[in-house]
Structure 1
Amino acid sequence: MEQEKTILDIQNLHVSYDGTDILKDINLTLKTNQTLAIIGESGAGKSSLALAISGLCAGSTTGTVLFQNKNLLAATEAELRHLRGKDISLVFQNTDNALHPLYTVAEQITEAIILHKDIAKPSAYQLALQALAEIGLTDRLATAYPHELSGGQQQRALIAMALVNNPELLLLDEPTASLDPLTKQEITTLLQQSTAGRAVILITHDIATAAELADTVAVLYGGRIIELGPARAILENPRHPYTRGLLRAYPNMTTVKDFQGIPGTMQHNLPGCPFQPRCTQRLNSCNASMPELALTDGRGLACHRGGIVPVLQVTNLTKAWDEHQAVQDLTLTLYEGETLAIVGESGSGKTTLAKTIMGLTPPTTGNIHLNGVKITERNQDFYKQIQLVFQNPKEALSHRLTVCQLIKEPLDIQKIGSETDRQTAVKQLLNEVELPTDNAFLHKYPHQLSGGEAQRVVIARALALNPKILIADEPTSALDASVQAKVIKLLLNLQEDRGLAMLFITHDIALARKISDRLAVMKNGKIVEEGLTHLLIAAPTHQYTQKLLAVAARINWR
């Protein structure tokens, strides 16, 4: 089998504008018949990468971009003009600016052909019409001016112009941006057909487009590549917290927990890892140095912690009373910042699992690790790391204590700060859970609170020690749907802001579907099925999971 040829080799590419580093230490290779998608937020440097490769970057560039054994960064303008449109073609993001308003589409493509081929104008014009017909533009549309075409038709014209000279390398900068879904799908299908056999770099913030077109994905953040690998592996199982954040923020029909953003904004010229101000699992070393893009198993990752870290590991856990085993040889892992939902009917062992992890009942056998450390006793340090939100808020709150005393109690027990500091912390926590901070509310007792208010106080109390793990045991089962929605939204916002990992216990698989990253189905003390929520919901394999989904809440008309 013939080995695929390297088309593009980028080494230590650096781009800056007025002293601001837009791209730094970019190293990429692209082979024949490979489509590499570059994904990331606006400002990550995606378009600057495409412009640097094509020799159109206005910033200061250093490094090496090898194409046909020529360093494009050292090429003359004449050499670049010879390559652009012939061997390297770029489809620009903004169709309005990319097409000349005074020439028909066919005339513009004719000029692109004549520029690189020794051919008479009439023959070039026929080739232009043929190229436009191949991408779905009839002679009537081919002879129209750009303003007479729709956005999708203009995009087709740009693709035809880029392909007409059969380039080796095709650069696509946001080719589906601003298109309606039907037109976007038409353009995506067209690109799938027309780019076969070519080397392609796809610049996009549209993850669905990347999934459909690319076989390799590079995640760009703050001008650096932070994750690189096969498209499916990256988009289904991200290892970098930023990549996970991108996927959570992207709404689509195949995922169930989305629209959860990343706090903060992107910054450039920072020491260390550019993502560290927004990262919820950062270390001191993240502020000091940029992690190398370490390559393992065909994937590259730039993360000082080696990826999204496990914060809670339960191994072979069993809890038995006499002959009854409420939890049987159970193993699970909870990762930093994720929500793992445990779903099952009453009596399946969910609450016993929560109480055993928290030390409210001792395990019969098995081990529990927090942040990689085996737990041998439940001391004060343990409860700084993990807290439990009980099912019934009124039973979880002492009727003898006021709201202020209830939230302050964990700080009192741990002797954290002065009395003034603790009072201030109580008000900050009440703000965080969206409750009043006036004296009247601070001095209320649990029986004076609504169900939703009581549950928010329970959550504020659980957050007082700033834990990284929250176990929520049916936290909304006693609330009406409206209040439940508010409490769930609150928990998700807290997770986003604090980087909380949540073990969310519920009997409601419809609710679990909306809030969890991963789902574990529990029956008779065992986990019978576990996986990414959207995959498990779409194709459950265990009969019990199928049964739970069949009886899940849905509105059915008579």
Structure 2
Amino acid sequence: MLSIRGLEVSVGRTEILRGIDLDIDKGDCLAIIGESGAGKSTLGLSIMGLLSSGTVRGEVLLNGRDLLQLNEDELRRLRGGEMAMVFQNIEDALDPVQRAGDQIIEAISIHRKASSAEEMRRLLLAVGLGAEKAESYPHQLSGGEKQRVCIAMALANDPDLIILDEPTASLDAMTKMDIIHLLQSALHGRMALLITHDISLAQRLANRLAVLYAGRIMEVGDTSQILSSPAHPYTRGLVRSYPAICRAKDLQGIPGMMRHGLAGCPFHDRCTQRIEICKTEVPLLEEVRGRLVACHRGGIVPLLEVRELSVSFGSYPALSGVDLTLYEGETLAVVGESGSGKTTLSKAIMGLCQEGSGEIFLEGERVGKRDASFYSRVQMIFQNPKESVSHRMTVLDAVLEPLNVMQRGSPEERVARAKQVLRQAELPVNDRFLAKYPHQLSGGEVQRVAIARALALRPKLLIADEPTSALDPSVQAKILKLLLNLQERMGLGILLVTHDIAVARKVSDRIVVLLKGRIVEEGATDEILIGASHPYTQTLIESASERLDPGEGGGSLELAPARSRIEIKI
């Protein structure tokens, strides 16, 4: 067993690793993921005792022995024997003036009194190389072949622990798959630490996952659970950033850059749900939904919760027992045909239709009468922007109105804020444009003004009711991209009401399907689109088939494991 306790590594005044606690049992593969500079490779080198500089503190116990207390001779006897490492840079890992076979023999003979050419050839065959490759020098081998030689050297003495540092980096897709299949077999029954930025590799090889940020562990747990339902804001950002083939929404990214040495939570300066304690106190790893998460708020927080919401118009039930949760920084798409209750749901949340039964919670607080506090945190973009932008107001007046009503700042500060959100909406702020009336603008410009107006108060929740249905495809794409960019920078929660499941696919994290006022299916967007269970959902997807590329929407879900789905048949 490998047990790491309180591991800290510093170089000068810079702390590279801070308080690392991890365990790896026999047969486990633990993947460490995170951005460049997080400390992933430093962790691997610390275990091996190969750091060229810096101070290392804590405990690294391998089968009961503390590696940090061993001298260099003792470590040398363990390296390549009980523990081995496949390095990230294969060019540096192999001696350019020795044949591949000789290097494997050397790896064996260092730890045993004798080795044989037969044993070397057996290792070459085990990693998928022909015996003739034994005579090749590194420069005569391809990248994939060099990687296989490195793996053969790591396996030469049947180590208990193997550390893999980016073992498939820079390999083409076909070679990468060959190496993955090789590693799946080679790691069986061993302890393995996989260091990678490649989330798909972690998903294929590791049964457990740890997320490292600026030297601290942010989240630890079952790989499939973490990748399908991240609990920490940083983990969610990593998953969204990865260009996975099967994910519906990706490449959103994380605002800002990693910085070492911050007080408090190391992620707080980039986190959109931070509170004051995040700036001063380091969060502890605590259990959240079946995994360990270091977050003062218990992971990604629910922003909007709707419980048993029912609304009737006379004897007609427009909504019946609707339950949904929207998390901070998430886009939840509510899809369904006209008359399914989508707009009624959004207006009920906003308090713009008659009261029904049920409860609505905003940031954990029950919503009663909609007051200034509510509307400063929740805004709505209407399907028809003329519903929210008066034809009697200029562009500047329309965006200033909510700031004036809420009396936010001085008149000069309000104008500055209005111009700021207009820029965010990618609109000009010159005097000529600010003086225009809605009838002098294009449909796309009016909708952008409506978005700027909705963002003026810096809301946490944006309800977007068919925000692009009346726009041409080019303008539609720009509006949707704008909303995603604002979500990335501000942590906006977006409740997207749409009949267009193709649009929902591109921008939403999860989908709720409404039929006759009831939720009939709910789940991750990619899961719903590929494995819809309800006939109505299947019909919606088929109706959008011309806009959904089968090559992108189909295929395996390996890179985004399925999440639980609610199905109610009517």
TM-score (norm 2): 0.95
Identity %: 53
Aligned to 1:490: 482
1:454-482 Cα offsets, whole Å, 9 max, x none, are 11100000001100000000000000001
Is the CA contact (8 Å cut-off) linking 1:317 and 1:363 kept in structure 2? Answer: no
How far the C-alpha of 1:68 sits from its partner, in A, is: 2.8
- Give the match for residue 71 of structure 2: 76
Q: d(CA) in 2 for partners of 1:56 and 1:301?
A: 29
Q: Provide, for residues 415-474 of structure 1, a one-character-per-residue CA deviation record: whole Å limited to 9, x for no partner.
A: 111111111111111111111010000000001111111111000000011000000000
Q: Does structure 1 conserve the Cα–Cα contact (< 8 Å) formed by 2:502 and 2:548? A: no
Aligned partners of 1:191, 1:36: CA distance in 2, in Å?
A: 13
Q: Does 1:107 align with 2:81?
A: no
Matched residue SS, 1:505: strand
2:547 paired with 1:552: no
Cα–Cα, structure 1 residues 556 and 236, in superposed 2: closer, same or farther, change >3 Å?
closer
Equivalent residue for 2:429, pick from 437, 442, 467? 437
Selected match of 2:5 from 3, 11, 18? 11
Q: Which amino acid aligns with 1:239?
A: A
Pick one of 40, 56, 59 that aligns with 2:34: 40
Cα offset, 1:125, TM superposition:
2.5
Q: What amino acid is the match of 1:85? A: G
CA contact (8 A) 1:471 1:503 kept: yes
- Number of the residue aligned with 2:556: none
What letter matches 2:342 in structure 1? K
Partner of 1:117: 112
Among candidates 352, 372, 378, match of residue 370 of structure 2? 378
| Secondary structure, aligned partner of 1:409 | helix
The alignment status of 1:26 with 2:20, answered yes or no, reads yes
Residue ranges of structure 2 left out of the alignment (5+ in a row):
550-570
C-alpha distance in 1, partners of 2:138/2:345? 64
Deviations 1:159-217 (A, max 9, x none): 01100110000000000111111111110110001110100000011010001100110
Aligned to 1:209: 201
Number of residues of Structure 1 aligned to a counterpart in Structure 2: 548
Deviates more, 1:48-57 or 1:61-70: 61-70
CA distance in 2, matches of 1:193, 1:483: 50
1:189-208 matches, within 5 Å, as 189-208=181-200
- Residue in 2 aligned with 1:182? 174
**CA distance in structure 1 between the aligned counterparts of 2:510 and 2:276, rounded to whole angstroms:** 29
Superposed CA deviations along residues 18-50 of structure 1, whole A, max 9, x for unmatched, are 210110000111111110001111100000000
Per-residue deviation, 1:298: 4.6
In the alignment, structure 1 residue 60 sits paired with structure 2 residue 55: yes
TM-aligned CA deviation for residue 296 of structure 1: 5.2
Please report how far the alpha carbon of residue 127 of structure 1 lies from its aligned counterpart in structure 2 after TM superposition: 1.2
Q: Deviation string for 1:140-161 (max 9, x for gaps)?
A: 2221111111111111110011
Does structure 1 residue 330 correspond to structure 2 residue 322?
A: yes
Structure 1: how far apart are the matches of 2:166 and 2:548? 41
Q: Which moved more, 1:393-402 or 1:254-263?
A: 393-402
Tell me how far apart the structure 1 counterparts of residues 358 and 191 of structure 2 sit (CA, whole Å).
52
Q: Per-residue deviation at 1:362?
A: 2.4
Distance 1:522-1:189 versus aligned 2 partners, 3 A rule: same
Residue pair 1:394, 1:447 contacting (<8 A) in 2 also: no
Counterpart CA distance in 1 for 2:188 and 2:127 is: 14
Whole-angstrom CA distance in 2 between matches of 1:553 and 1:387: 32
Q: 1:292 to 1:556 in 2, by over 3 A?
A: closer
- The alpha-carbon deviation at position 555 of structure 1 amounts to 6.1
Q: Which residue matches 1:91?
A: 86
Structure 1 length as normaliser, TM-score?
0.97
Pairing partner for 1:302 from 288, 294, 309 = 294
Q: Does 1:221 align with 2:213?
A: yes
Q: Deviation digits for residues 517-537 of structure 1, max 9, x if unmatched?
A: 000000101110001111111
1:218 counterpart SS class: strand
The whole-number CA distance in structure 1 between the counterparts of 2:356 and 2:228 is: 36
CA RMSD, Structure 1 to Structure 2 (Å):
1.2
> What amino acid maps onto 1:303 in structure 2?
C
Structure-2 residue corresponding to 1:3: none
Q: Alignment partner for residue 531 of structure 1, among 515, 523, 526?
A: 523
* Corresponding letter in the other structure for 2:97: L
- Does structure 2 conserve the Cα–Cα contact (< 8 Å) formed by 1:357 and 1:368? yes
From 393, 411, 422, give the equivalent of 1:419: 411
- Are 1:102 and 1:145, in contact at CA under 8 Å, matched by a contact in 2? yes
Q: Which amino acid aligns with 1:60?
A: T
SS at match of 2:296: coil
Determine the C-alpha separation between the residues in 2 that align with 1:515 and 1:556.
Answer: 13
Provide the rounded CA distance (Å) in 2 between the counterparts of 1:540 and 1:312: 25
Compared with structure 1, are the counterparts of its residues 409 and 296 closer, same or farther at alpha carbon in structure 2 (3 Å cutoff)?
closer
Tell me, in whole angstroms, the C-alpha distance in 2 between the residues paired with 1:141 and 1:456: 62
SS at match of 1:86: coil
Q: Secondary structure at the match of 1:367?
A: strand
The match for 2:245 is 253
Report what 1:4 is aligned to.
none
- Map 1:375-414 to 2 at 5 A: 375-414=367-406
Shift of 1:252: 1.1
